Structure 1
Amino acid sequence: MPDHLPHNGHAAWQPSLQVSEPAPGFFFVEGPASNWIIVRDGSGFILIDSGYPGDTDLVLKSIEHAGLKPANARAILITHGHVDHTGQAALFSRTFGTPILCSPEELAHVQGHEKHQVGLGEVMVRAWRPRVLCWMRHAIRAGALNADPATEARAWTAERLRDLPGAPEAILVAGHTPGNASIYFRDAGVIATGDSLVTGHPLSGHVGPQMLHPMYHSEPDTALSATHALDGVEASIILPGHGPALAMPLAAALAALRG
């Protein structure tokens, strides 16, 4: 297998500006519209989520910036099956044989057998709003309409996760999608919240703990209450799927989220 894949542009994006290390071995990558995370320890590295399909070059640059080779990823963990988080999963699986893992409840979504994505009609009725139009144009350019499903994805188990770098633990936070999950690193006090809790978004006018717009949730009436699954989790570094990293107790972020 080759150690690299073709790059696709994004000349303005620089890993020196968009990649940070908020905790030792945790590389937080802010993509143009969604984030991904590299977790490294002495046993190797994993990715959590992987941007849009059109973010290939950025994902590769971020891995190389961390001093790693894409072919050596031990797994990609998918917080949920939306296209802005599964972008490179099929590519890494096909090119490098990288294991793609997600929650059992999300497997059919990640494999492409089910769809829990915001519909074009839901977007079009709001497209008169400048923020929605801007987001929609970026999503289309980033390959949202022709993404390959990760057909070789498999459901994680607690045992499988514990053997990966950082010993991640999965916390099911259904509501955004049926199998949406956050990934907790107990020893490091770090949590990757995916879209369970975000700190910004192109449709949002502010930065800080928040929920995505209801149109993105498969169960908008329960997405907020589902965050109670995170109650009691002792983390002080929050790495969201959208928006900047946040250094604050998760309990305080959840309190702000719920008003």
Structure 2
Amino acid sequence: MISRVDASATSAAFLVQTDVVNWILLQEGSDITLIDGGYPGQESDVVESIRHIGGRPEDIRGALLTHAHVDHLGGLVGLSQRYGFDVYMDPVEVSHARRDHLQQAGPTDILPLAYQPRVLRWLAKVTPLGVLSRKGIADAKPFPEPLDLPGRPIPVSAHGHTDGHSAYLVAAGEVLVSGDALVSGHPISKIAGPQCISDAFQHDTETARRTVESFMMLESSVLFPGHGPRCDGSVAQAASRALDVS
């Protein structure tokens, strides 16, 4: 499913929602910025989504990463090599993306939950997509100064889920691309609507909750989350609800 927010007559932001993870396309004229890239096994889906909005993967001028978990970084590994674009992120997240270290849920984190049918169904979906991949992006780069990419994305520090997790304001600040700092659903979650992602996936839960608290200061009116559907309405209120239910 693809939903759209227009920023101007020639610029738009698109949320590409799948049943396991989301990514975002920013289109300005014919140029594209990609935010996140799904699992390794979703490379072709990313390309298809770009063609769906009338673009080509050759139009990607650069990619941004919210964080270096396999379901957000995985597709970018092959796509960046094939189409020759750079991948940028919070400076703290660079070493994680290069796989100098790994802050990602492993079998010991998931095993206590594996008795739940929804967790087993999720594992059945993501295993063939490459959930166990440990490939990184060797030439991952910190945000350049200035960050001049199609769609004019503005990084928002959102640490906690990983040490260098970043969110982004797009569509002139109307939309918050929240990554996994604030989601609206997840295959293993019983909750529908704005929420903090399961503690099993959090690197630093307390810092992650403070990040969600900081979102309560934003004036954005649309949430493009890393998991779950688009949420229309006050992002500040969505953040507050997430803290209440999580």
Which TM-score applies when normalising by structure 1? 0.88
Contact kept? 1:53, 1:147, Cα under 8 Å: no
Q: Does 1:121 align with 2:108?
A: yes
Letter in 1 for 2:110: V
Contact kept? 1:171, 1:230, Cα under 8 Å: no
For the structure 1 residues 67 and 82, does the alpha-carbon distance in structure 2 shift closer, same or farther, using more than 3 Å as the test? same
Q: Tell me the distance in 2 between the aligned counterparts of 1:147 and 1:69.
A: 28
Greater shift after overlay, 103-112 or 40-49? 40-49
Greater than 4 Å deviation, 4+ residue runs: none
In angstroms, what is the RMSD of aligned CA positions? 1.5
Q: Does 1:194 align with 2:179?
A: yes
2:221 aligned residue: 236
Deviation at 1:153, TM superposition (A): 1.1
Alignment of 1:179-258 (within 5 A): 179-185=164-170, 187-258=172-243
Contact kept? 2:30, 2:55, Cα under 8 Å: no
Q: Aligned to 1:46, which of 28, 33, 40?
A: 33
Deviation at 1:135, TM superposition (A): 1.5
Letter in 2 for 1:87: G
1:173 aligned residue: 158
Q: Tell me the distance in 2 between the aligned counterparts of 1:204 and 1:21.
A: 26
1:130 aligned residue: 117
1:28 aligned residue: 15
Q: Any idea what the Cα deviations from partners look like across 1:11-44, whole Å, max 9, x if unmatched?
A: xxxxxxx112144511110123000010111261
Count of residue correspondences: 240
Deviation at 1:93, TM superposition (A): 2.0
Q: Tell me the distance in 1 between the aligned counterparts of 2:92 and 2:215.
A: 18
| Runs of 5+ consecutive residues of structure 1 not aligned to the other structure | 1-17
2:85 aligned residue: 98
Q: Tell me the distance in 1 between the aligned counterparts of 2:180 and 2:221.
A: 18
2:95 aligned residue: 108
Percent of matched pairs sharing the same residue = 32
Greater shift after overlay, 98-107 or 178-187? 178-187
1:80 aligned residue: 67
Letter in 1 for 2:84: G
Alignment of 1:9-24 (within 5 A): 18-24=1-7
Letter in 2 for 1:209: P
Residue aligned with 2:217, SS? coil
Which TM-score applies when normalising by structure 2? 0.93
Contact kept? 1:158, 1:169, Cα under 8 Å: no
